[in-house]
A and B are shown apart, each in its own frame.
Chain A
Amino acid sequence: MAFTPTQTDTAPPVSASKGSTGRAGDKIFSGLSKGSGILLLVIMASIAAFLTYRASIALSKNEGNFLTTFDWNASANPPVFGIAVLLFGTVVSSIIAMAIAVPIAVGIALFISHYAPRKLAAPLAYVVDLLAAVPSIVYGIWGALFLVPQLNGLNLWLDEYLGWTYVFDKTQVGVARSLFTVGVLLAIMILPIVTSVSREVFLQVPRMNEEAALALGATRWEVIRTAVLPFGRSGVISASMLGLGRALGETMAVATVLSPSFLISLHVLDPGGGTFAQNIAAKFDEANEFGRDALIASGLVLFLLTLLVNGAARLIIARRKEYSGANA
């Protein structure tokens, strides 16, 4: 008790010293956090820089045309390689995946957000989120050992009834280790993520917009068409872009299912073709140092491709934010 006055006397210096450590601490802490942010930027920049550097080494010695050569003999002397087949295979398999996955994912998202009995909806959403976490290699072996035999029948059908479209004309006999099967598997893989993002968007549709449609005498489907889908459109697009990004860069599921070849064929049911990521996985083991540089060059193209897709998705999301902001 006797010391109380002394304590109050020393109070100002204490608080002042506390203030100064506070300021130093603030500097250190804000510096650290800012540094982390900068580190992230540095990592991104160096990914681009280093890949470009190694790629340029590879390209300078390439005897083939990087864009049009239908071959990948990077470890040979002289090296000959080109990405035409890989680009084609990556884009085609991703398009197939999107064509299958997006409508179904929208359907499931609507099911969870607007159709399912309420007791079912929450656990369903949970299961879908869990499925998004299943590793791609598991999808890969499931696709190769289980899905491929199951799809043979479907392939025959498509050939028989839709063969006239050229695209679904199956010219080679054999198991379904084709770009089409890869597309189906990729579709199954990206379903959970596209579903879960779309569901979030559908759940954000203002309740009063749905009620307005109902009060006008709309059926459930008409409510969805007038109030839910227009509101959720950009969200679904960005969800799809997210899925597309995953499909483009997927390695293991393609590597297990596809029987690769360096051919471009629009007959998507025929085995053959390749994708960037699959090619890197397949050729890496036997590649010499120069061969690795060539694979890095193809990786750079994949990197740029995904950057493009992701950038587009971000732009769409940003536009949507402005839009909903204007309405608020």
Chain B
Amino acid sequence: MAKRIDVSGLSAFYGNHKAIDDISMTVEPRSVTAFIGPSGCGKSTFLRTLNRMHEVTPGGRVEGKVMLDDENLYGANVDPVAVRRTVGMVFQRPNPFPTMSIFDNVAAGLRLNGTVKKKSELNDVVERSLKGANLWNEVKDRLNKPGSGLSGGQQQRLCIARAIAVEPQVLLMDEPCSALDPISTLAIEDLIGELKERFTIVIVTHNMQQAARVSDRTAFFNLAAVGQPGKLIEIDDTERIFSNPSVQATEDYISGRFG
């Protein structure tokens, strides 16, 4: 039951500085949407507004609406904690909890939520999540070893397993492959293809080939000048964006003329 995201008129601020301006878009359920654009254009900031992580940054503030199906994430009485449980996130650099074992890392979210009480049930979910992240075969013999002992690519898949263990509706990925080698990147990209059967996926990437490979739809962000807020230039089917974009700036960026 992945959900549709419907953003309208969204702006985000750091203190008095406006980072992104008046963004509206729709993200279809069970699809992969990629955000591309030059550094500093606000695509990561925008991603973080989709699970209310932006307001965790000191001075972070958001205006506008983000509808998850028929519910506004920024409505009154909405609990940000519940939002983040529904909208999972994978970060740029793999960040397993350094003091926890592989098993505990995956179980962390479940334990926090207190949803899974029985040990056997917990084992099942951990196994299912690790399989879902294509990591099970590599770690099944060392579940009690620290997660920090894995390679970078394995750590990132561990973080994906941790995120999907709590069964979110949406999975946000903030440049999940930028710290990984090509082979690990390929593994993650394959995984994204499988995960979109179950989740709505939004991925920020610097790598245009990656966007072309994994996404169904692509959104291009840009900023008018340094210090100006970032804007959504256009969003369309990935194929169309990469073959025949409707805006000149998109074509310039994709063909490598800037950025």
Contacts and interface: CB of A to CB of B under 8 A. Distances in A.
Interface of A: 118, 206, 208-209, 211-219, 222, 226-227, 230-231, 233, 324, 326-327
A218 B91 contact: no
B136 interface: no
B56 A214 contact: yes
Nearest to A230: B99
A217 B95 contact: no
B5 interface: no
B109 interface: yes
A212 B174 CA distance: 12
Given A211-B53, A226-B112, A326-B148, A216 B97 contact: no
A316 to B, nearest CB: 15
A4 B58 CA distance: 63
B135 interface: no
Interface in B128-170: 148, 159, 162-163, 166
A227 B56 CA distance: 15
B99 A231 contact: yes
B159 A212 contact: yes
Given A118-B58, A222-B112, A226-B112, A212 B91 contact: yes
B88 interface: yes
Contacts of A222: 112
Interface stretch (B19-27, B64-72, B79-87, B248-256): B79-87
Contact of B91 (A208, A227, A231, A233): A208
A217 B91 CA distance: 15
Contact of B82 (A118, A217, A231): A217
Given A226-B97, A326-B148, A215 B108 contact: no
Range class of the B interface residue count = 20 to 34
A218 B148 contact: no
A216 B95 contact: no
Given A118-B58, A208-B95, A230-B97, A215 B148 contact: no
A221 to B, nearest CB: 10
A227 B97 contact: yes
A81 B97 CA distance: 55
B93 interface: yes
Q: What's the dominant secondary structure at chain A's contact region?
A: helix
B53 A216 contact: no
Interface in B24-53: 51, 53
Contacts of A211: 53, 56, 89, 91, 95
B98 A327 contact: yes
Contacts of A326: 148
Contact of A216 (B93, B100, B109): B109
12 contacts: A118-B58, A208-B95, A209-B98, A212-B91, A212-B97, A213-B108, A215-B88, A216-B163, A217-B109, A217-B112, A219-B81, A222-B112
Contacts of B108: 213, 216, 226
Interface of B: 51, 53, 56, 58, 81-86, 88-89, 91, 93, 95-100, 108-109, 112-113, 148, 159, 162-163, 166
A212 B93 CA distance: 11
Contacts of B109: 216-218
A214 B97 CA distance: 12
A218 B83 CA distance: 10
A131 B122 CA distance: 48
Contact of A209 (B56, B85, B95): B95
Nearest to B94: A208
A231 B98 CA distance: 8
B78 to A, nearest CB: 13
Contacts of A214: 53, 56, 84
A219 B114 CA distance: 13
Nearest to A323: B98
B97 A217 contact: no
A208 B91 CA distance: 8
A46 B85 CA distance: 62
A218 B99 contact: no
A216 B166 contact: yes
Contact of B85 (A208, A216, A227, A233): A216
Nearest to B87: A215
A215 B99 contact: no
Contacts of B82: 217
Contact of B148 (A216, A217, A219, A327): A327
B84 A230 contact: no
Contacts of A218: 81, 84, 109, 112
A17 B82 CA distance: 75
A327 B95 CA distance: 11
Q: Please provide the 6 A-B residue pairs with the shortest distance between their CB atoms, ordered closest to farther.
A: A217-B85, A230-B99, A215-B89, A216-B109, A208-B95, A217-B84
Nearest to A206: B95
B238 to A, nearest CB: 26
A281 to B, nearest CB: 44
A208 B83 CA distance: 19
A230 B100 CA distance: 9
Of A215, A222, A233, A326, which is in contact with the most chain B CB atoms at under 10 Å from its CB? A215
A227 to B, nearest CB: 6
Contacts of A208: 91, 93, 95
Contacts of A212: 91, 95-97, 159, 162
A209 B108 CA distance: 12
